[in-house]
Structure 1
Amino acid sequence: MTRKDDLTLAVDVIALAKFDTRVGITVPTTDTVKLTNGAVYLDAVYLYADMADSTGMAQNFDEIDAAKIVRAYLSAVTRVLKFRDGEIRSYDGDRVMAIFVGNDAATKAAKAALEIKWVVDNIVHEELDLLVSAYSKSTWNLSHRTGIDTGEAFIVRAGVRNANDLVSIGDAPNIAAKLSEEKYGRTMITQRVWDAMSYDTCFSSKGGKAMWTSPELKRVGTRVEEVRHSNWGWVVN
């Protein structure tokens, strides 16, 4: 069999296969989704946290210091997400994706996003400024943006044996990823997420001040979505 035949056969097998689908209540792992034809429908909240201006970082630091910055950022963000019951399912350079499920998934995701904002500004930035001399001397400062959306996703396993991962297909993961690229605010959510959040995640406990802007119609990729943004931080003690 030629390489062309092998590639053609691989595509044909996938194109003709019937998915063995199920409805999930927990976030699947690669061990729980069959590589051949497994698929899971999951109602979930997707969160993407993306470090801002990675190009500027690469221009301002050598590979050692850049690696310290990225690792410090991802370590802190991941710890916040896991504390808030987010299931990490993807790292893409300096961007991390987490999935939240359950009745309070939107609240947990929003609190995680607000905590990430505070932690990045008040712990990661401050410690890098103190401990990494190249960072303290640079005009480039660590920042990030987080996007969140909720909805049903279709999760499959893609790749080949020993080189595969889960892929989430649907509006929620796509919109959350796009929102993490926008520059309206540090945290961006759809109105769908806001509607599912608890009161204390929407309004401050001090005076009931709204922590999010009023809903606005914004173009997100090729779609127009009703979104809110926030520059608030949730203090971590």
Structure 2
Amino acid sequence: MGFKDDCTRAVRDIVKVDFNTRWGREVPTTDSIVQKDGAVWLTAAYLYADMADSTGMAENFESADAAKIIRAYLSAVTRVLKDRGGEIRSFDGDRVMAIFPGDDAADKAVDAGLRVNWVVDNIVHDELLSNNSYYQKYVETGWRVRHRTGVDLGTAFIVRAGVRGDNDLVSVGSTPNVAAKLSDYKGRGPTAITDYVYENLSYGNQYAKDSQSGDDEIKSMWSAANFVDIGGTWESVRTSTWWRSYT
């Protein structure tokens, strides 16, 4: 059988076979979804963390130094996401995606996002200063490793896509799509969430004491909701400059 016939048969089988669908409470793996017809509905928070200004990095650094920056960023961010209960399901260049299941999914994802803010500024950047090339560019141009994080909450349809031996999970639906687009949103502050995420947050992830004010005044951690065109869909979005530290 030639390539054309083989490819045609494979696509025809995909189109004609109905999904064997179930609802899940845990983030599925490739082992838990049958490639032929398996599918899982999952309600969860999706978080995308994306290193900002990759173009500037490519222009400023040799390949080996750029690779160290990306590896340092992804290593630190991935550790945060896993530490806060996220299941890593995708890497794309300098971007990583995690899924947070459960009734407290919004709180876990937002807490992770706020901790990513601190880790990137206080661990990744500080440790990269020991790299001579990074240090020189930081002093000369002010370029430093930065990031953006997008979070949305909702239901996704998860399937396996690809071919035998070369396949992975794919999350279909507006929730993962919006979260991915928010990681590119250039709002005020590195963390962007939909208003639906905000509505599902506990008080401690909506308001906090502002220690910098000198009087420990309780303040909102988030901007007012603003309608934004996110990839052709209007979403009510909030952003934050706040961070949460590790001790």
Verify: 1:232 aligned to 2:242, yes or no. yes
Verify: 1:201 aligned to 2:205, yes or no. yes
- Equivalent position SS for 1:219: strand
2:122 is matched with which residue? 122
Verify: 1:188 aligned to 2:187, yes or no. no
1:55 deviates by: 1.3
Alpha-carbon RMSD across the aligned residues, in angstroms, is 0.8
1:213 is matched with which residue? 223
2:70 is matched with which residue? 70
2:153 is matched with which residue? 150
Distance 1:181 1:192 in 2: 19
AA paired with 1:6? D
1:202 deviates by: 0.8
Which range moved further: 51-60 or 167-176?
51-60
AA paired with 1:132? N
1:19 deviates by: 0.4
- Equivalent position SS for 1:208: strand
2:30 is matched with which residue? 30
Alignment deviations for residues 50-105 of structure 1 (CA, whole Å, 9 cap, x no partner): 00011111111111111110000001000100110000000001000000011111
- Equivalent position SS for 1:43: strand
Verify: 1:102 aligned to 2:102, yes or no. yes
AA paired with 2:72? A
1:92 is matched with which residue? 92
1:163 deviates by: 0.5
Alignment deviations for residues 208-230 of structure 1 (CA, whole Å, 9 cap, x no partner): 21111011111111011101000
Alignment deviations for residues 154-210 of structure 1 (CA, whole Å, 9 cap, x no partner): 000001111000000001000000000010030000001001111101111442211
AA paired with 1:137? Q
Q: Give the ranges of 4+ consecutive aligned residues of structure 1 lying more than 2 Å apart after TM superposition.
A: none
Distance 1:162 1:208 in 2: 53
Which range moved further: 207-216 or 20-29?
207-216
TM-score (norm 2): 0.94
AA paired with 1:102? G
Verify: 1:13 aligned to 2:13, yes or no. yes
Between the two proteins, the alignment pairs up a number of residues equal to 236
1:135 is matched with which residue? 134
Distance 1:113 1:22 in 2: 29
TM-score (norm 1): 0.98
2:177 is matched with which residue? 174
| Uncovered stretches (5+) of structure 1, i.e. residues with no partner | none
Identical columns (%): 57
2:166 is matched with which residue? 163
